[in-house]
Structure 1
């Protein structure tokens, strides 16, 4: 009998080994197809996966259709900007970070680009580079390698006459407002002696709320609230038992879920279509009806470019074979007179008067005794152009009192404490600089500065705000 038990134990071990070997073979089969490549001498081979591709969504065809319809109905050019499209769900995991994308604004930008047609996109989400170059221009540091004439004098810097930034007609803002876990789940597990299969399904959902606003009146033209569900599955089988004194623990399975961020992108694209349709008076219903839930092999631009014939009128049935020749004649006649292109954005008028960044314009105002001293965003230093203004103030003070206005970028919107501390530093710099030019500190009087309880912006011309006023006298 002992021999039989030993044989059984040996058979059990052999069977276990066979199962493990087969499992290892399965792991090899489950390994993704990766090509290993040595990228440098002495390096180990680096696995290389699939090539980069266009990030397509199930709405590529819908957006191509909608863009074509805007062109077909000649709605006219619209300039649309995008503000913050934030994550308002507050769902965060220490291990995985934020549950939903933080790039909602970028996805809306991409959706507008996919629609194309008469839609022009204005950058308002991150104008950092443009603001910085405007600062360089204001300090007469930006050039293009050419010599320009300003007030009859050749200068190497770019003169700026204003009005170069195209205004927006509308802007889109909003956010991702819901993420609901485990809306519905179910499954089954069957085991005998800790051996058996299991299966589980689960569903989550997200929701978003967007609005499009008239840039001129700040009237909300249209709001959209959309929700999308995501389903996933998990299947597997496990073995957990002792074979004699040997414990065998084997688990195999797989799970999958619709990509959460791809679903959010798709929902943002549909919301963008509906918002753009609202401000153009176009019904997107027939284009949205083309949605089939599958990701096409071509992008919206490729789908649009592949159209061999003009976009057919919506709401009409396809022509029958008997009327094919007549349809071809109509298409040929329509092609002979192409529709006019979208109206271009009006170019700025020819420069009139002095450049805004010239010394004369810097000190110009309703009174010849008022000098404007500018500061860059959050900066306390005085640039080269402002240094020349201080020279001008010292010369003018020898003849009489000089009123000085201190200005900064209108994007400075600090809290009252930080604003006052920054202004104190700027005033100290100006007073010290004037002292070096022969103006005593006691000859400089602060005639106005914002009250500590005043948190408003005091605008003074495009892109800047007044932050203080001084009176300078020669003593």
Structure 2
């Protein structure tokens, strides 16, 4: 939020030249330090008034996106061909009781929907079952039971009347898949003004001000075994929400004229994004427990606040591929030109992301389906992204020339996917890939091989 108020109150006659110059200079300085966003107005139809149009919709990313990709990768690699666990979600209610007459409920009433979205970020590592809103399915089952539901075709039915064709869908039960576990809980805390403070200094009614504000939200979640109703694990999480206000003002007479000039900005971390991030961390911990997959290494890289660089990549990364591979970006390699060293500021604003491809294919695997969205989100936040391109270690084609050609095709497929999210192919740099003819399997974690390392700068 930005504010700018100019109130010159003249007691008599025109303003002196010196006063007008001072006023214009103050307003210019304040406006230059308070950059206001500008949006365009669009006329949707000839006979309608134009409407303001802001930024378009985007993938709703959080600081834990990389952690979900990492945990999905780990679950799949240790599953060893077993069927994925099936997870359902119960009602995640708002138990805070906080309500504002002007703004309504303080925290979201859609906690269950946020948990479902979090489970969706795990891709094919788990199966998600619908239990939150089953009204449509139950209605259609009721229609089926009354022999009212059809699909426009005739169906063979054998009963006491013999074999005949009927227009309704015969139903013999067992079509609804069971769940192994379900997640339930609620939003339990909203604490205002945990800490606030600031400073304001004025000389002759002229000076700046700076204020900070902290609140928090909390959630309690548990995961329950559906068959036995045994609570496998319960977690209690909280996140602090921070805000700040920066401004400056002038309130004084210049000659016979009183000037009241104020400018500044207010910034508050989105409360509902804080709730979403808190619920997502709870989902990571609960799923880690029931899949017996440690999530610690995946969550180390997400301990910083939204928009800040992660301290550790989400999955263990070998320092460099083992010998005889040369140092990254060999000068003689025609396919990956050497890049100049990045300045320290750019290095600090890089996050890491794994992109897994299907076996012997150029398609991006399900657990990395949101990779392009994640890269686009990070770039819009001013962060660069380093990507590790991965494939299954046991890919059957070990011919170096064919593997090299497949890597080229995978790079092209990834660049095309990123281009659909507004990232030009030239912005994607290859930092390292094996030299032509290299037969070494550059292992990456358990069960994967490293194909290439890429970098996308903002």
> What TM-score, normalized to structure 2?
0.63
> Among 138, 148, 155, which residue is 1:148 paired with?
155
Deviation of 1:133 (Å): 1.1
Q: How many aligned residue pairs are there?
A: 323
> Among 251, 275, 290, which residue is 2:286 paired with?
275
> Is 2:295 the counterpart of 1:290?
no
Runs of 4+ in 1 over 6 A off after TM superposition: 5-9, 296-299
- Flag the structure with larger Rg: 1
Counterparts of residues 233-244 of structure 1 (less than 5 Å): 233-243=244-254
Match of 1:232 in 2: 243
Which structure has more helix as a fraction of its residues?
1
> Is 2:130 the counterpart of 1:62?
no
**Which stretch has the larger CA shift, 243-252 or 197-206?**
243-252
Deviation of 1:221 (Å): 0.6
> Is 2:131 the counterpart of 1:18?
no
Match of 1:85 in 2: 92
Evaluate the alpha carbon distance shift between residue 25 and residue 182 of structure 1 in structure 2; reply closer, same or farther with a 3 A threshold.
closer
Tell me the C-alpha RMSD between the 2 structures.
3.6
> Is 2:26 the counterpart of 1:30?
no
Evaluate the alpha carbon distance shift between residue 238 and residue 271 of structure 1 in structure 2; reply closer, same or farther with a 3 A threshold.
same
> Among 309, 326, 336, which residue is 2:390 paired with?
309
Secondary structure at 1:328's aligned position in 2?
Answer: coil
Distance 2:301 2:180 in 1: 29
Distance 2:18 2:94 in 1: 55
Evaluate the alpha carbon distance shift between residue 335 and residue 213 of structure 1 in structure 2; reply closer, same or farther with a 3 A threshold.
closer
Match of 2:77 in 1: 72
> Among 158, 167, 172, which residue is 2:169 paired with?
158
> Is 2:115 the counterpart of 1:108?
yes
> Among 213, 216, 240, which residue is 1:205 paired with?
216
Match of 2:128 in 1: 121
- Contact 1:12 1:243 survives alignment (8 Å): no
> Is 2:40 the counterpart of 1:50?
no
Which structure has more strand as a fraction of its residues?
2
> Is 2:441 the counterpart of 1:328?
yes
Deviation of 1:192 (Å): 2.9
Deviation of 1:258 (Å): 2.0
Deviation of 1:50 (Å): 1.6
Deviation of 1:240 (Å): 2.5
Deviation of 1:166 (Å): 0.5
Structure 1 residues 119-157: Cα deviation after superposition (integer angstroms, max 9, x where no partner): 111111011111111222122221001112332232211
Deviation of 1:302 (Å): 3.5
Structure 1 residues 415-434: Cα deviation after superposition (integer angstroms, max 9, x where no partner): xxxxxxxxxxxxxxxxxxxx
- Contact 1:206 1:264 survives alignment (8 Å): yes
Deviation of 1:25 (Å): 5.5
Distance 2:41 2:225 in 1: 54
- Contact 1:64 1:301 survives alignment (8 Å): no
- Contact 2:249 2:260 survives alignment (8 Å): yes
Distance 1:328 1:250 in 2: 67
Structure 1 residues 5-63: Cα deviation after superposition (integer angstroms, max 9, x where no partner): 99996246524652576379559x73323233221103333232222211111111110
Secondary structure at 2:75's aligned position in 1?
Answer: helix
Distance 1:335 1:292 in 2: 26
Match of 1:258 in 2: 269
Evaluate the alpha carbon distance shift between residue 61 and residue 278 of structure 1 in structure 2; reply closer, same or farther with a 3 A threshold.
same
Evaluate the alpha carbon distance shift between residue 21 and residue 280 of structure 1 in structure 2; reply closer, same or farther with a 3 A threshold.
closer
Evaluate the alpha carbon distance shift between residue 238 and residue 276 of structure 1 in structure 2; reply closer, same or farther with a 3 A threshold.
same
Deviation of 1:113 (Å): 0.7
Evaluate the alpha carbon distance shift between residue 25 and residue 44 of structure 1 in structure 2; reply closer, same or farther with a 3 A threshold.
farther
Deviation of 1:311 (Å): 7.1
Counterparts of residues 424-463 of structure 1 (less than 5 Å): none
Deviation of 1:245 (Å): 5.8
Uncovered stretches (5+) of structure 2, i.e. residues with no partner: 1-10, 308-350, 354-366, 374-386, 394-433, 450-458
Uncovered stretches (5+) of structure 1, i.e. residues with no partner: 313-320, 337-475
